[in-house]
Amino acid sequence: MTTAGVAPGRCRTTRVFTVLELISRTRGARLTQIADASGLPVTTTHRLLAELVELGVIERRSEGYQIGSALFDIAFRAPARAELLAAVRPALHDLYASTRATLYLAILSGSAVSVMDVVGGGELSGIRVRSGDQLAAHATAAGKCLLATAGSDTLPVKLERLVPRTVTSSQVFAQQLQSVRALGYAVDVEEWQVGVASVAAPVVSEGHVVGVVAVALPVHHFNPHRWGSQVVNAARAASARLASGRAHADSRERVA
pLDDT of residue 250: 43
pLDDT digits (tens, 9 = 90+) for 125-136: 567 787 778 888
pLDDT at residue number 232: 97
| pLDDT value, residue 123 | 45
**Per-residue pLDDT tens for 62-97?**
888 887 777 766 766 666 788 899 999 999 999 999
Greater confidence, 156 or 152?
Answer: 156
* pLDDT higher at 182 or 123: 182
Nearest to 131, CA basis, from 81, 175, 80, 203: 81
Q: DSSP assignment, residue 115? A: E
Q: What's the pLDDT score for residue 191?
A: 96
Is 50 exceeded by the pLDDT of residue 254? no
- In the chain, what are the domains? 12-72 (1.10.10.10), 77-255 (3.30.450.40)
Averaged pLDDT, 173-199? 94
The most confident of 100-109, 154-163, 226-235, by mean pLDDT? 226-235
Helix spans in 100-223 (H): 141-147, 170-183
Residues of the chain above pLDDT 70, percent: 84
pTM of the model: 0.72
Mean pLDDT computed over 91-106: 92
Q: What average pLDDT is seen over the chain?
A: 83
CA pair distance 100, 94, nearest whole angstrom: 10
DSSP string, 5-71: ---TT--HHHHHHHHHHHHHHSTTB-HHHHHHHHT--HHHHHHHHHHHHHHTSEEEETTEEEE-HHH
Pairwise CA distance, residues 23 & 8, whole Å? 20
**What span, in angstroms and rounded, lies between the C-alpha atoms of 72 and 34?**
20
Instruction: pLDDT band for 156, please (50, 70, 90 cuts).
Output: confident
More confident residue, 178 or 26: 178
Segment 194-210 mean pLDDT: 93
